[in-house]
């Protein structure tokens, strides 16, 4: 879409608008100066106004919720797929080729369809179009995203880990056999469907690890990092559920390979110096989830460990923005040749 005029708008449909990522995409796109929301789908809520699902999105003149099969694809230029994992492949396979697809599910993130089946417990339902998918971590794959029809937006945990780890691996500063990723997430990372483990009484006043040694995001992280390192990598990744709505904090425990902590800090500063949404915190300042809430930023800090030859890197994002819908809008902008920050200029909310 490099031939877009400065006044052209992109007609957008959001599939799965009744979930958290759909609502967040809608919140961001409704004030996007070059996006026109022409369709919203939510099969179980078809025929209803979005205000019946999300009262905070009332009175915005938005389309009535409809079923996916009723979508007029001739009236759409781009589709945001905010559907549950395991349901997107068949939907995307039926979409016409003229549509740009920004997929927020996990359905096209793993290049190996057999690995996908082993990880998600079901066969890949669109293996013929998997090769078209570009893994859409914007800062890492910007050029390929610009040329892609199908962009597979990364998961929230992988975004928080891959962004700081990629420069350190590319510069050969860390031991590739000793990567430990300890991550904490807010409850919205589990989606909006009713689950016992997401009930207030199950989450409040506590913290718990889950998916220990088996979380589905580990292969996704390893796929990206292995590409950077030029060899197969295995990481030690453990996620935890925190009693908060939004946010991810990942603490990375790393062994240096003939380098110093300041070398790692310089590596991150050099790599992200010109990036609008990635920032390295001042020396000695630890980033916190409250510093990025509601924004598309990723903040990261580097600290020398008290153990010689080791460092600790702390990375934070809002799981619904940079970890999902914000990064999707960022990829949308890249795919249509628009300013990358468009629709994402809002500062973090505090407190």
298 is catalytic: no
Q: What single-letter DSSP state applies at residue 84?
A: P
Identify the bridge partners of residue 135 per DSSP, sorted by sequence position. Answer: 152
- Between vectors from CA 345 to CA 343 and to CA 346, what angle results, nearest 5°? 105
H-state helical runs in the chain: 20-29, 50-53, 88-94, 113-120, 138-147, 156-170, 200-203, 217-229, 261-272, 326-335
Task: Work out whether the CA dihedral 250, 255, 257, 263 comes out positive or negative.
Answer: positive
Q: How many residues does the chain have?
A: 351
| Joined tokens for residue 103 | 């997929």
Map residue 122 onto helix, strand or coil.
coil
- Between vectors from CA 226 to CA 220 and to CA 231, what angle results, nearest 5°? 150
250 with 181: CB under 8 angstroms? yes
321 with 274: CB under 8 angstroms? no
Measured between alpha carbons, how far is residue 230 from residues 172, 191, 236, 311, 341 in Å?
A: 11, 34, 19, 22, 31
- Cα separation, 254 vs 262, in Å, equals 14
Q: Which of 81, 82, 156, 298 is catalytic?
A: 156
- Cα separation, 183 vs 304, in Å, equals 19
Hey, which residues are catalytic here? 156
């Amino acid at each position: 879409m490099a031939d877009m005029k400065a006044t052209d708008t992109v007609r957008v449909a959001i599939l799965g608008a009744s979930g958290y990522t759909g609502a967040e995409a809608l919140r961001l796109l409704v004030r996007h100066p070059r996006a026109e929301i022409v369709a919203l789908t939510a099969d179980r809520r078809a025929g209803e106004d979005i205000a019946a699902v999300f009262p905070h999105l009332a009175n915005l003149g938005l389309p009535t919720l409809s079923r996916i099969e009723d979508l007029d694809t001739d009236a759409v230029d781009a589709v945001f797929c905010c559907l549950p994992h395991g349901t997107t492949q068949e939907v995307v396979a039926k979409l016409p080729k003229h549509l740009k697809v920004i997929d927020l599910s996990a359905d096209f993130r793993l290049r190996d369809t057999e690995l996908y089946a082993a990880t998600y417990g079901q066969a890949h339902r669109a293996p013929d179009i998997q090769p078209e998918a570009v893994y859409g971590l914007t800062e890492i794959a910007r050029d390929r995203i610009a040329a892609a029809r199908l962009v597979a937006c990364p998961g929230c945990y992988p975004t928080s880990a891959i962004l700081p780890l990629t420069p350190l691996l590319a510069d050969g500063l860390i031991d590739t056999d000793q990567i430990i990723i300890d991550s904490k997430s807010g409850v919205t990372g589990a989606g909006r469907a009713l689950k016992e483990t997401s009930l207030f009484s199950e989450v409040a006043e506590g913290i718990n690890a889950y998916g220990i040694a088996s979380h589905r995001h580990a292969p996704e992280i390893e796929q990206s990092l292995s590409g950077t390192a030029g060899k197969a990598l295995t990481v030690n990744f453990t996620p935890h559920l925190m009693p908060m709505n939004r946010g991810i904090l990942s603490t990375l425990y790393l062994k240096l390979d003939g380098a110093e902590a300041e070398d790692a800090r310089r590596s991150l500063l050099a790599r992200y110096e010109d990036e609008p949404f990635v920032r390295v915190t001042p020396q000695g300042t630890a980033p916190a989830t409250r510093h990025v809430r509601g924004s598309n930023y990723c903040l990261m800090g580097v600290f020398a460990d008290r153990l010689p030859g080791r460092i600790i890197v702390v990375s934070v994002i809002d799981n619904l923005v940079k970890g999902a819908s914000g990064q999707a809008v960022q990829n949308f902008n890249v795919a249509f040749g628009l300013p990358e920050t468009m629709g994402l200029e809002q500062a973090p909310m505090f407190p």
